[in-house]
Amino acid sequence: MYNKLEVEIALLESKAISEIKTIVSLQGLEKIKLDYLGKKGIIRSYFHNLKKIENVEEKRKLGAIINAFYDKLTAIIQERASRLKTEEINLKLQNETVDITLPVRPEKVGKIHLLTKVISEIKFIFAHMGFKIVDGPDIEDEFHVFDALNTPSHHPARETQDTFYLTDKMNNQKMLLRTHTSSVQIRIMEKAKHFPIKIVAPGRVYRNDFDATHTPMFHQVEGLYVDKNVNMGQLKFTIHCFLKKFFASKDLKIRFRNSFFPFTEPSAEVDINYKGNKWIEVLGCGIVHPNVFKNVGIDNTQYSGFAFGIGVERLAMIKYQIDDLRNFYDNKINWLNHYSVHFASK
């Protein structure tokens, strides 16, 4: 037997359930919750009416029914609320999807200029042969660029048409932009306390010249080895090793040609025969002149040495087949993109 309240509540329940099921917004659900379960809601009014019932047994029974309805409705509303929340989140996610198949925006990454790469290739090879990498100042005095290197004051290299002189003097000496990295030899030997000296010095050099084969600034790598009994054979061996490694060619043809530099005796120029039958000059070298040792206070009866000077642009032009020296410096974007390398590569 159902009593009247039970029937009423059963009807109310199915009404509430259908309302809850059809509601699609959390706001709407909140309103239903207030209507049924709120302080002024329907269920409250049933509890209120309970007070009027005198029969304790009857009161307990009806109270249990209302309570059960309250609990059931609370659970159904909670479940619906969590479903609506999930739906809301899913909808949001759907609308906010990121299309991961879209290509990323191109990022501008700087690259290493070919000359920087070639200089590091050269340093790398000599470092493996035990040479220390050093440097010296671009702005020099006449002593380090000329006098100490046994270059007399009437030598044509000292003329202003070849050398950029600065207007300021220092310690009463004319200052200039170094015309070769050989000045670093002098700076290193002046300070040397221990032997052997085994260095390479890469850097910029400056000459008052500008055409297809000359730029007013270019790069050299100077090499110097000083010890007891240093000889021409060691120089040749070192140059051979370097050039074969640099051009990645075991059977590179190399030729030493008699030459003259004021700071070496004997002196040689080195040519290579690279991919073809033309000989191309790549560097100058020789045995350190005794006067140079005298000028830096090294005992030339005990020590001897060899030196060499490499033209970086020239090596780069041969290896990477570039025919105009000015390409290195005119900063054309296509050229730079083509010849530059990414940071990661060696």
Grouping H, G, I as helix, E, B as strand and the rest as coil, residue 286 is strand
Pairing state between β 197-206 and 217-227: antiparallel
**Which of residues 77 and 288 has its CB atom nearest to ligand DAH in the complex?**
288
Gyration radius of the chain over CA positions: 45
**Which of residues 35 and 281 has its CB atom nearest to ligand DAH in the complex?**
281
Q: Read off φ and ψ for residue 6, nearest 5 degrees.
A: -60, -45
**Which of residues 20 and 286 has its CB atom nearest to ligand DAH in the complex?**
286
**Where do contacts with ligand DAH occur on this chain (CB under 6 A)?**
180, 182, 222, 261, 264, 284-286, 307-309
Annotated binding site: 265
CB of 203 to ligand DAH, least distance (A): 12
Please report, for residues 18, 147, 174, 317, 335, the alpha-carbon distance to residue 295 in angstroms, rounded to integers and kept in the order given: 107, 8, 18, 36, 45
Overall residue count recorded for the chain in this entry: 346
Chain centre distance of CA 167:
39
**Which of residues 285 and 298 has its CB atom nearest to ligand DAH in the complex?**
285
Annotated binding site for Mg(2+): 265
CB of 249 to ligand DAH, least distance (A): 23
**Residue closest to ligand DAH when measured from CB atoms:** 309
DSSP string, 174-208: EEEE-SSTHHHHHHHHHH--SS-EEEEEEEEEE-S
CB of 128 to ligand DAH, least distance (A): 20
CB of 265 to ligand DAH, least distance (A): 10
CB of 316 to ligand DAH, least distance (A): 17
Give me 160's structure tokens. Answer: 């202003």
**Which of residues 112 and 157 has its CB atom nearest to ligand DAH in the complex?**
157
Q: How many CB atoms lie within 10 A of CB 290?
A: 14
